[in-house]
Amino acid sequence: MKYIKPLIAVVAFLGMFLMYLPSVAVGIFSVNDAIFGLAWRGFTLKWYERLFQNEYIIEAALNTLIVATLSTIIATVLGTALAIGLYRSPWPASMQRFFDQVINLPVVVPDIIMAVALALAFNVLRMVSKIFDMGMVTLIVAHVTFQISFVTLVVKSRLDSLGSDLDEAAFDLYATTFFRFRKVTLPLIFPGVVAGAMLAFTLSLDDFIISFFNHGPESITLPIYVYAAIKRGLTPEIHALSTVMLILTAIPVIVIERITRKF
């Protein structure tokens, strides 16, 4: 038995090493003076300078942040409302199973199927309004469609773990519906809401297939740009871009994780 703990520690460190090795390698090559190959040619920051001077990358980054931010806000509001509605409403068992299947469907369905289905839906909707021409609107709507399920599942799991005792106590004390939500329900589910929003934001930043099928010529996101750049040949600018994206994603995750510890 005394050898179990060291073995677990070794396996854990090995797993962490394999998990972060690609990210560390990308960071190292982003400051390598060599344009091609794996040989170390010296330390340099010129790839970062070129990165921030590339107007196409800046535009793609802004599009990515706009889409991720707006879609996350919309999906978090709708997903939280859906989770509360499903949890509080006395649905019959058959309807509850149906809703659970509908919510889980976007999570398990392959992205390529959702991407094609959304593209076909936007083709039909364009007959009704030109607002559904391929661009930022279609990108945001497409991202919201798969983000809602993840937010709903996270918030609903938080509600299931809390139970309904505190809500019922507030109701017995003649609290109004809005007051009960603002003072009881929302503070209790806030960690779940934040976790769902973080997951939705990360999925939006990382999404390629759905974005590829539903973007327009003026709504290129970073994953689409990186895909096109790799087809032309991998350059150190892509390594620098990946490193910057990793850092910008890790910082808010660490900050929010420390904030949610208080709840």
User: With bands split at pLDDT 50, 70 and 90, how would you rate the model's confidence at 75?
Assistant: very high
**Residue 166 has which token pair?**
């505190």
| Domain map (residue ranges) of the chain | 55-260
Mean pLDDT for 75-88 is: 89
User: Which residues, 6+ apart, have CB-to-CB distance to 167 below 8 Å?
Assistant: 88, 180, 184, 185
Q: Taking the model in full, what pTM does it have? A: 0.82
pLDDT the model gives residue 6? 76
Mean pLDDT for 36-45 is: 78
**Residue 160 has which token pair?**
């299931």
CATH of 55-260, picked from 3.40.640.10, 1.10.3720.10, 3.40.50.970, 1.10.10.10, is: 1.10.3720.10
Residue 3 has pLDDT above 60, yes or no: no
Residue bearing tokens 């299947």:
101
Lowest mean pLDDT among 18-22, 30-34, 48-52, 177-181: 177-181
pLDDT the model gives residue 36? 72
**Residue 154 has which token pair?**
């996270």
Query: Which of these, 241, 216, 211, lies nearest to 226 by C-alpha position?
Result: 241
Residue 143 has pLDDT above 90, yes or no: yes
CA distance 46 to 147: 37
CA distance 196 to 189: 11
182-236 per-position pLDDT tens digit: 777 778 888 889 889 988 998 898 888 999 998 888 888 888 888 887 777 777 8
pLDDT the model gives residue 259? 66
At residue 84, what is the residue type? Answer: I
pLDDT the model gives residue 142? 93
Lowest mean pLDDT among 6-10, 109-113, 124-128, 130-134: 6-10
